[in-house]
């Protein structure tokens, strides 16, 4: 098997966007800069640029998601691409077709990009490994592994509010074990050079050797939030609240729920983030989610511009469009 970074082409340019891991800092900065330019597109009367005109992008969702799929669709349309939305759960695979069969059939229809969401870790890598030479693959979330576009819009939001990454201390609170978002955020924050990344949660929700990801592990919210600049709370899925991972929502909120009182431990200008959807009263108090330090809605607003930048970068259409021209 080829052990090269399959995200990059022979010239080291981005071809697929599967995970943040292994990408250079400059590439992430380029994406953030491009996204900055694209935000002005969304504010224009005609919210379109012709970068991907004539290209066909397939939103290939093996796992249901309305919000992520919508932002990808919007991003593709604003780049002037043709978009197909395919909910695979309801189609071919239920008739026994393999993932590879589905992919090959779509490639035969001359599609140029797959935006893939799948419940199994590594699915986007698998599709990229078997992709036709002209096809790019964007990972829109695979199992517990990665959700790199979400992480990039989170980085975009952090940069907009905090500027430089280097002196930041960032805490990620909640279900790290099952979170593809957290993994991608950790890689992105590391690559962008933040001073410290902490993960906070009970041992049942933290991977066994989390420290190898370059994070500091805290099981106590108080120590974890001390002097923090950015707090990212993660969605706690209700189905994981019972069973053997946690005793109850009540106890989780008592120990790890983000309340106004607990925010005092962080820096006074700390921002609060959440990839959504929010479980109010479980991982975050409404007063915090809707409070002045919350940037949760900004994250949502940035989703389209960041995904436009990533799609254009993967199709190698960014260099011909200097960022300033879009302003």
- Give residues in contact with other proteins (CB under 8 A): 1, 3, 6, 21, 98-100, 118, 120-123, 125-126, 130, 142-146, 180, 183, 207-210, 212-213
Instruction: Answer yes or no: are the C-beta atoms of 59 and 83 closer than 8 Å.
Output: yes
Residue given tokens 């989703």 in the structure block:
303
Instruction: Answer yes or no: are the C-beta atoms of 113 and 151 closer than 8 Å.
Output: no
Instruction: Answer yes or no: are the C-beta atoms of 143 and 118 closer than 8 Å.
Output: yes
* Alpha carbon distance 212, 232 (integer Å): 20
CA atoms within 13 A on the CB side of 275: 27
Nearer residue to other proteins within complex by CB, 7 or 39:
7
Nearer residue to other proteins within complex by CB, 19 or 157:
19
How near is the Cβ of 245 to other proteins at its closest, in Å?
11
Q: What angle do CA 10, 26, 179 make, to 5 degrees?
A: 90
Instruction: Answer yes or no: are the C-beta atoms of 232 and 185 closer than 8 Å.
Output: yes
Nearer residue to other proteins within complex by CB, 143 or 202:
143
Instruction: Answer yes or no: are the C-beta atoms of 265 and 223 closer than 8 Å.
Output: no
How near is the Cβ of 41 to other proteins at its closest, in Å?
33
Nearer residue to other proteins within complex by CB, 120 or 255:
120
Nearer residue to other proteins within complex by CB, 61 or 253:
61
Q: Provide the edge-to-edge strand list for the sheet that holds 136-142.
A: 82-87, 56-61, 113-118, 136-142
Residue given tokens 């902490």 in the structure block:
198
Nearer residue to other proteins within complex by CB, 65 or 121:
121
Helix residue spans in the chain (DSSP H): 25-41, 67-78, 99-108, 123-129, 148-162, 180-192, 221-225, 249-256, 260-263, 286-289, 296-314
Nearer residue to other proteins within complex by CB, 245 or 321:
245
How near is the Cβ of 209 to other proteins at its closest, in Å?
4
């Amino acid at each position: 098997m080829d052990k090269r970074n399959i995200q990059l082409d022979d010239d080291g340019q981005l071809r697929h966007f599967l995970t943040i891991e292994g990408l250079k800092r400059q590439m992430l900065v380029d994406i953030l800069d491009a996204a900055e330019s694209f935000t002005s597109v969304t504010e224009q009367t005609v919210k379109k640029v012709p970068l991907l005109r004539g290209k066909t992008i397939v939103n290939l969702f093996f796992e249901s998601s309305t919000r992520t799929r919508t932002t990808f669709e919007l991003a593709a349309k604003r780049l002037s691409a043709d978009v197909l939305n395919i909910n695979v759960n309801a189609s071919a695979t239920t008739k026994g077709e393999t993932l590879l069969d589905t992919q090959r059939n779509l490639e035969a229809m001359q599609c140029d990009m797959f935006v893939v969401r799948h419940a199994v870790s590594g699915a986007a890598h698998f599709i990229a490994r078997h992709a036709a030479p002209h096809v790019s693959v964007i990972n829109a979330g695979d199992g517990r592994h990665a959700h790199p576009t979400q992480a990039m819009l989170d980085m975009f939001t952090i940069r907009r509010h905090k500027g430089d990454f280097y002196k930041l201390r960032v805490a990620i609170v909640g279900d790290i074990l099952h979170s593809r978002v957290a993994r991608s955020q950790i890689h992105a924050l590391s690559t962008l050079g933040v001073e410290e990344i902490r993960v906070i949660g009970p041992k049942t929700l933290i991977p066994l050797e989390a420290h190898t990801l370059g994070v500091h592990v805290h099981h106590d919210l108080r120590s974890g939030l001390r002097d923090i600049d950015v707090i990212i709370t993660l969605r706690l899925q209700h189905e994981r609240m019972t069973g053997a991972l946690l005793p109850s929502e009540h106890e989780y909120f008592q120990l790890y729920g983000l309340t106004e009182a607990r925010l005092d431990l962080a820096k006074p200008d700390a921002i609060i983030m959440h990839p959504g959807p929010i479980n109010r009263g479980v991982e975050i108090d409404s007063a915090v989610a809707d409070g002045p330090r919350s940037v949760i809605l900004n994250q949502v607003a940035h989703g389209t511009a960041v995904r436009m930048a990533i799609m254009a970068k993967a199709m190698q259409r960014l260099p011909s469009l200097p960022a300033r021209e879009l302003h």
